[in-house]
Chain A
Amino acid sequence: DVKVTQSSRYLVKRTGEKVFLECVQDMDHENMFWYRQDPGLGLRLIYFSYDVKMKEKGDIPEGYSVSREKKERFSLILESASTNQTSMYLCASSLGRGGVDFEKLFFGSGTQLSVL
């Protein structure tokens, strides 16, 4: 089975800190994604990457950046954490080749980030 691992399950940070959220997948997937999930708002796409060193903005990229130096690892960076970035952050990956059937997403367990 595909495994998507997020480095932290819970994280508490202070306003203004630089925060790194790490995500690793073990199935040679091309695509990787970062979503945030808030009550009543559902899943919103922050950034995604379809190849090493490639990235594209999602719906809510402001205040975030990403890094993909290796195929299996996709990092989300909060440059200067703010309280409105308190959320559940979910990483996902998909194969990205072979047609529609391979575009299903595999999610990590999520990181609940609290910014105080």
Chain B
Amino acid sequence: SQTIHQWPATLVQPVGSPLSLECTVEGTSNPNLYWYRQAAGRGLQLLFYSVGIGQISSEVPQNLSASRPQDRQFILSSKKLLLSDSGFYLCAWSVRRPEQFFGPGTRLTVL
């Protein structure tokens, strides 16, 4: 069966510091991978998605970036965090059709 991992689970970072969030999927090959952000009490905002190694599509221009160095690894990064980057970051995967399955999430607080 497939599983998806995210780490860290929680993170508190100062404004201007760098960020690296990691997502890995097990039990499937060549999945589509997604990064979402959810602000407190809000809906989901799609940030990036990837259909293969090195292929990244950005949905929202901002100070975040994503990379996919391996088939089942998806990384979300920032060089300098902003207060507005605080939120709940969810990684998701899909195969075949767009139904997506979500990881446990990373709660990021930028102070």
Answer whether A and B are interacting partners: no
Q: Using a CB–CB distance below 8 Å, which chain A residues touch chain B? A: none
Q: Using a CB–CB distance below 8 Å, which chain B residues touch chain A? A: none
